[in-house]
Structure 1
């Protein structure tokens, strides 16, 4: 029972990290910090615009792969079998 509690605590920690990163990128960079970021241009586009349109999507996809890899490590650590 103690192993299950530890497993879920680590799982929830990973989920919180993913949500925090996604919030910072999508809401923070895409809305709150858009004006300062628009002073920087990449490929002819303002960086604030890029984060609002593309950056949050790319970050979300990257977080999916990162979370999957971390969960595989966590499953091995706690000997969780696939069902």
Structure 2
């Protein structure tokens, strides 16, 4: 792989990481801490939604983001022809 292709690959990887970490931050800190009062007006399974995001929702989103990242990286590996065979 040429140095330019490596730089493009790394740039795309960092872009994915940045977007996914921003999503996780918004869900965990934004929904679980900053927006907890407005979200508590909504109930999910008998619990206030703000409480649910603070206790479980951010963990579920984090696990989902791991799978999203793996799928994105598999696609990126194929695009740059560095995928596992």
| TM-score between both structures, scaled by the size of structure 2 | 0.94
Q: What aligned pairs does 1:1-80 form with structure 2 within 5 A after superposition? A: 1-80=3-82
* Structure 1 position 68, deviation (Å): 0.1
The size of the alignment, in residue pairs, is: 82
Contact 2:41-2:49 at 8 Å conserved across structures: yes
Runs (5+) with no aligned partner, structure 2: none
Aligned counterparts of 2:44 and 2:29: Cα–Cα separation in 1: 20
**Deviant stretches of 4+, over 6 Å:** none
* Superposed CA offset, 1:33-60 (max 9, x none): 0000000001110000000000000000
Indicate the SS of the match to 1:80.
coil
Aligned counterparts of 2:45 and 2:81: Cα–Cα separation in 1: 46
| TM-score between both structures, scaled by the size of structure 1 | 0.96
Runs (5+) with no aligned partner, structure 1: none
